[in-house]
Amino acid sequence: MAKKKALKPARINIKNKRAEHDYLVIDKLMAGIVLTGTEMKSIRAGKASLVDTFCFIHDGEIWVKNMYIAPYELGSYNNHALRRDRKLLLNKKEIRNLQQDASNPGYTIVPLRLFVDENGRAKVDIALCRGKREYDKRDSMKERDDKRELDRFLKRF
């Protein structure tokens, strides 16, 4: 009897593309996320979004607000709420440092990426960010376009 090969699951990598455009990333951290019920199944299906998502600190805990996780299609009446606040798992020292840094005017904590690690756990990359001004956004778009042109040019040779 021949052994069956286990299928490798697709890599789940949900990005917040708008955050990279609107914010200048100062510091990055990786955090676990507390999920309930069918939320993990929806994330594995790739049905989540980080658009308009932000983090806040309340009572020494860090929470992510407005993260969209679609309802699981095969779930019953026990399906999860779509946009509930979800707790992130970080050390107290990391939370304290983030709280001190985010208390400065113009700084915020934004989730950049939601993914599933090798062990099958959902993780979130969060970042301490500072909002970009309009001219900063234009500069970053110009740099991206210049890099794209250079890559096209180098590809010909």
Q: What are the backbone angles phi and psi of residue 12, rounded to the nearest 5°? A: -90, 120
Residue 5 has a pLDDT of 59
Q: What is the pLDDT of residues 54-113, one digit of tens each?
A: 999 999 999 999 999 888 877 777 777 778 899 999 999 999 999 999 998 989 999 999
For residue 155, pLDDT beyond 60? yes
Q: How far apart are CA 154 and CA 137, in angstroms?
A: 26
**Residues 56, 77: Cα–Cα separation, whole Å:** 30
Domain residue ranges in the chain:
13-132
pLDDT at res. 114:
93
Q: Which residues of 41-70 are buried (b: 16+ CB within 10 A; e: fewer)?
A: bbbbeebbebeebbbebeeeebbbeebebb
| Residue 130 scores a pLDDT above 70 | yes
CATH topology for the 13-132 domain:
Small Protein B; Chain: A; (2.40.280)
Q: Return the pLDDT at 36.
A: 86
